[in-house]
A and B are shown apart, each in its own frame.
Chain A
Amino acid sequence: MAIIAKIGQVLNTPIKIGKTVNHSSNPFAAATFVTADVFVSKAAKPSLKDKLKLSAFVGSIGDAFPTFRKGIESVVAFGNRMKEGFSSAMSKLNEIGSMEISIDFAGAGRAIKSGFASIADNYSVQKLKKQDVASLEAMWKELSGLNIAA
């Protein structure tokens, strides 16, 4: 939007361009980067007025670039700030010490599995201590391969 506005502005100020041409031996001295030779065509040479317009257009692009550059730079700076912020946050978390930042899905899976196993396990201490001694003795004998009746 800014470029179009600028182009429009430049193109709509013929008096200013005319003044420049009148006071300069080189009519393209006002152009910032590109000389009019860039636009020379063997097939159809542009008129002086066209050259001036194109020159003004190129000049306006040259003027517009810093704006773009600033915009791009600000985006890059924003990205860098975000990156630095994230890095510093990670550093802070690391500085906390033994706190584990990574998420161990495998470990969590095992923990959940272990939790379910302990619920389903009839040989957990919590369940065993609710049983009477005779039952515990029988279970122990069975596990030891001893004859329960003996």
Chain B
Amino acid sequence: MKDNKNRKIRNIIEALCLHSDADSIRVLEEMGTNSSDDEIRELTARALVRKNSHDSLAVTITNKGKGINDMSTVVAMSTINELLALDNKDEAIKILTDTVEMHSDEEVRENARSVKALMALS
């Protein structure tokens, strides 16, 4: 029963990832990145990265406790992998650069710097 429910949620996340409506980013952020379930947070972060828009990438890069800054190593690493797998990394690198230079939180800046270095190497 739980597997079926998770499958449905997974498909909703995938559908929101494919959705062109900008509001889908808000739903993914509110419902997904705030979920207590690691799997849901991981799927949501990857979906936001795959959208590859400024707003969706900003959620996963600049927010403490979300995306690459998630407390769960699995979620953070999955998000980084998804960033590295992007065909067009321009927007992601731009946001990472801004985060490294201007973010108020030291930890977020450090994470962004590490990921930016990885992306430059990939």
Residues of A within 8 A of B (CB): 123-125, 128-129, 131-134, 136-137, 139-141, 143-144
* Residues from chain A with Cβ under 8 Å of B19 in the complex: 129, 133, 136
Least Cβ–Cβ distance between A113 and chain B, in angstroms: 15
Please name the 10 residue pairs, one residue from A and one from B, whose CB atoms are nearest each other, closest first.
A128-B15, A129-B15, A123-B8, A133-B23, A137-B27, A129-B18, A133-B21, A125-B14, A125-B11, A140-B12
B86 within 8 A of A: no
Q: Please tell me if the beta carbons of B12 and A123 are within 8 angstroms of each other in the complex.
A: yes
Q: How many A-B residue pairs have CB under 8 A?
A: 48
Residues of B within 8 A of A (CB): 5, 7-9, 11-12, 14-16, 18-19, 21, 23-24, 27, 31, 35
11 A-B residue pairs with Cβ-Cβ distance under 8 Å, sorted by A, are A123-B7, A123-B12, A129-B14, A129-B19, A133-B16, A133-B21, A133-B23, A133-B27, A137-B27, A143-B9, A144-B31
* Residues from chain A with Cβ under 8 Å of B12 in the complex: 123, 128, 136, 139-140, 143
